[in-house]
């Protein structure tokens, strides 16, 4: 991989002009763009100069033993709103039709710096603080869209969505036109398109609220004031929750 990678970089460097020094794998790996503060203002184009493979790589269409990927269904592929061929993780968040319609990710929405040496914060004085141990992305953001459907706190729901979907005619907005009406005001979400898709089916809402639950836990969303009829008494489960997200996610 380093050899192919270096070749790729060499191309990028050659096209950048004759005066530019020859690429060195180690310097590229430790390029300041990977760390705060530079990563906070990096553009996707800058990252993709060296990492185009994250958008181009595709999963195999056949296993080594000869099974076709279209014959093998994982649980998340049985979701009503799963579309298309098997795709890679990055493509599912950046280039598939649903990714483009519902979301607006940048590389640095998820990538906030990582430590190529120890994968841990604070092992030396000059490493970036606040890294999540052994991860190059803080998974907190993943749980926002890949947590469990928290039906227990939703008054009026007797079970998980697949069990009550028909009762509510596959429509979350029956209730959510009244409850928690100020939502999806974050930089990486396409607010209007999410509501449009929600009119087509509740399953498209469920797609980010339980349908692709990689985590067994629900996410504790902030509880913003609703437009009207917000009960004055705060339920126990909501006590102490903030009413706004981290600055970097705000529009």
Using CB under 6 A as the binding rule, the residues of this chain from 131 to 190 that contact ligand HEC are: 135-137, 139, 141-142, 144-146, 150, 153-157, 161, 168, 172-176, 179-180, 182-186, 188-189
Whether the CB-CB separation of 197 and 154 falls below 8 Å is answered with no
Nearest residue to ligand HEC by CB is 198
Q: Residue 236: is it exposed, middle or buried by C-beta count within 10 angstroms (0-12/13-18/19+)?
A: exposed
d(CA 175, CA 152): 15
Q: Which is nearer to ligand HEC, 122 or 152 (CB)?
A: 152
Closest approach, Cβ 66 to ligand HEC, in A, equals 21
Closest approach, Cβ 104 to ligand HEC, in A, equals 9
Q: Is 200 helix (H, G, I), strand (E, B) or coil?
A: helix
Pattern 1-30, ligand HEC, x by CB under 6 A: --------x---------------x--xx-
DSSP 175: H
The CA distances from residue 198 to 143, 171, 191, in Å, are 20, 7, 11
Closest approach, Cβ 178 to ligand HEC, in A, equals 9
Q: Of the ranges 14-22, 60-68, 122-130, 196-204, which one interacts with ligand HEC (CB under 6 A)? A: 196-204
Sign of the C-alpha dihedral computed for residues 240, 241, 244 and 249 taken in this order: positive
Closest approach, Cβ 71 to ligand HEC, in A, equals 16
Question: Which residues inside 60-99 make contact with ligand HEC, applying CB under 6 A?
Answer: 76, 82-83, 87, 89-90, 92-94, 96, 98-99
Question: Which residues inside 113-132 make contact with ligand HEC, applying CB under 6 A?
Answer: 114
DSSP per-residue codes, 229-249: ---SSPPGGGTT--SS--GGG
The neighbour count for residue 203, using CB atoms within 10 Å, is 20
Among 42, 115, 131, 213, which residue interacts with ligand HEC (rule: CB under 6 A)?
A: 42
Q: Of the ranges 14-22, 41-49, 60-68, 121-129, which one interacts with ligand HEC (CB under 6 A)? A: 41-49
Q: Which is nearer to ligand HEC, 25 or 61 (CB)?
A: 25
Q: Is 41 helix (H, G, I), strand (E, B) or coil?
A: helix
Question: Which residues inside 206-225 make contact with ligand HEC, applying CB under 6 A?
Answer: 206-209, 212, 214, 220-224
Helices (H) and strands (E) in the chain, counts: 13, 0
Residue listed under structure tokens 């991860």: 135
Among 110, 121, 162, 201, which residue interacts with ligand HEC (rule: CB under 6 A)?
A: 110
């Amino acid at each position: 991989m380093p050899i192919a990678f270096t070749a790729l970089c060499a191309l990028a460097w050659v096209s950048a002009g004759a005066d530019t020094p020859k690429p060195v794998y180690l310097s590229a790996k430790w390029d300041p763009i990977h760390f705060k503060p530079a990563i906070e203002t990096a553009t996707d184009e800058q990252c993709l100069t060296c990492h185009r493979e994250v958008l181009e790589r595709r999963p195999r269409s056949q296993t080594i033993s000869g099974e076709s990927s279209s014959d093998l269904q994982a649980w998340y592929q049985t979701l009503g709103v799963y579309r298309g061929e098997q795709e890679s993780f990055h493509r599912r968040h950046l280039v598939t039709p649903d990714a483009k319609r519902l979301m607006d990710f940048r590389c640095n929405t998820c990538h906030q710096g990582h430590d190529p040496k120890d994968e841990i914060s604070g092992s030396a004085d000059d490493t970036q603080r606040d890294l999540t141990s052994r991860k190059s992305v803080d998974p907190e953001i993943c749980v926002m869209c890949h947590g469990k459907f928290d039906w227990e706190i939703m008054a009026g729901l007797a079970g998980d969505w697949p069990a009550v979907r028909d009762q509510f005619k596959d429509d979350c907005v029956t209730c959510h036109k009244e409850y928690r009406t100020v939502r999806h005001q974050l930089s990486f979400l396409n607010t209007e398109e999410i509501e449009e898709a929600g009119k087509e089916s509740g399953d498209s809402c469920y797609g980010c609220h339980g349908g692709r639950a990689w985590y067994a836990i629900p996410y504790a969303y902030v509880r913003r004031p609703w437009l009207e009829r917000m009960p004055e008494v705060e339920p126990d489960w909501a006590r102490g929750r903030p009413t706004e997200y981290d600055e970097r996610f705000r529009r």
